[in-house]
Amino acid sequence: MSYPANFCGSYLTNDVTFLLKQIEIETVDVLQRERLMQEQGIHYSQLLPQEYLPSVRYKTAFYTSVRLNKPRLAQHIASLANQLNQRERLTLVSLARAGTPIGVLLRRTLRERFNRDVPHYSISIIRDRGVDENALRYILTQHEPSGADIVFIDGWTGKGIINQELRKSVAVFNQKEKCHISSDMYVVADLCGQATVAATSEDYLIPNALLNSTINGLVSRTVLNASYLDAHDFHGCRFYREFQAEDLSLWYIDEIMAEIRQVTNIAPCATIDRVARQIRTTRFIEQLATEYQTSYLKIKPGLGEAIRVLLRRMSQVLLVQNKNSPDIEPFLTIAAEKNVPIKERKEMPYQATCIVAIVPKARGRNKTSQ
């Protein structure tokens, strides 16, 4: 069995190989998608949310965030690359989409700074569906058969659900395939104590969180829909060729790499009290779930998770620790554009948290028809 493995999105061919099948799936608007998920129980991975290009004001806030945060991100990428370089064998496997730019930066840093030319794949993982097993099988055909050299890469943790999904689905895959892939996860920021290695545990704005496909190689979020994919396919994605003129994927990589070259002293990765972080996260989310009478899954803590809700879901409320924080400016902009109420919550252990709205039921007989 052979798989196509030459798709790099809008990145350079040696930056990354997306193990994703390009499909022409129709997108659905945010309100319709929420109703299909909440009323009919359709899994989020079956539906692709419509993407919009950012407003001028929001794009200005994005550029400001890059300028303010790139020195810190550069230091953290250098720290992660230095840690990864301690491994004798190494294959980077980033989790699409948020992990992809981080994986590209790590691959380039390992090559430039440590003279390590390592493979980098980007694959799909979906909550309640697991990691793409066909993608893992493909990687094992290309590299050392045990898979022991694989390290998974993501941008940040929020509640740790994807990390838990990864550990569970990799364990199932190993048992099924009689192999020994590690579920080690390396992230820039581990907010909830679920990652294996992290450069920091602080909630700060990793700028690639602020945009959708135009900072992720023009690749959509991943899709698992049997109408477009069969059992032998990779998980799917849409390639947004129509957004090419607005694509900032390579610009962003070049900006951060220029900053990484200025790093002289590489700090060690963070030492995190994982148990304490996990307890803190669970208590905070349970408190909000009770206060807002909502479910655990609808609470998205941390800057990275909160902006995702604002970008592609219906938001009930945006909670911020400090409205005057420079990291919060893009959040205030998009919340104003989408009429999302903002509440300051200074005691919150995250800079931002967004709660997904429970949408009102549509009227009429065909209320959720597409």
| Model pLDDT for residues 4-60, shown as the tens digit of each residue | 568 999 999 999 999 999 999 989 998 888 899 998 889 999 999 999 999 999 999
Those residues with Cβ within 8 angstroms of residue 309's Cβ, 6 or more apart along the chain or in another chain: 300, 315, 354, 355, 356
| Model pLDDT for residues 283-341, shown as the tens digit of each residue | 999 999 999 999 999 999 999 999 999 999 999 999 999 999 999 999 999 999 999 99
| Model pLDDT for residues 154-201, shown as the tens digit of each residue | 999 999 999 999 999 999 999 999 999 999 999 999 999 999 999 999
Distance, in Å, from the CA atom of 188 to the CA atom of 195, rounded to the nearest integer, reads: 10
Q: Where are the domains of the chain?
A: 17-260, 274-356
pLDDT of 3 over the 60 cut? no
The pLDDT of residue 30 is 84
pLDDT of 145 over the 70 cut? no
Percent of the chain with pLDDT over 70: 95
Pseudo-torsion of CA 196, 122, 104, 166, nearest 10°? Answer: -10
What CATH number has the domain spanning 274-356?
Answer: 3.30.1330.30
Other residues' Cβ atoms within 10 Å of the Cβ of residue 227:
9
DSSP E strands: which ranges in the chain? 17-18, 21-22, 27-28, 48-49, 91-95, 120-123, 125-126, 130-131, 150-157, 185-190, 197-200, 236-237, 299-301, 315-320, 342-344, 352-356
The pLDDT of residue 17 is 96
**pTM here?**
0.94
The pLDDT of residue 32 is 87
pLDDT of 143 over the 80 cut? no
Those residues with Cβ within 8 angstroms of residue 170's Cβ, 6 or more apart along the chain or in another chain: 131, 181, 182, 183
The pLDDT of residue 148 is 67
| Model pLDDT for residues 217-254, shown as the tens digit of each residue | 999 999 999 999 999 999 999 999 999 999 999 999 99
Q: What does 302-329 look like in DSSP terms, one character per residue?
A: SHHHHHHHHHHS-EEEEEES-TT-GGGH
Q: What are phi and psi of 306, to 5 degrees?
A: -65, -40
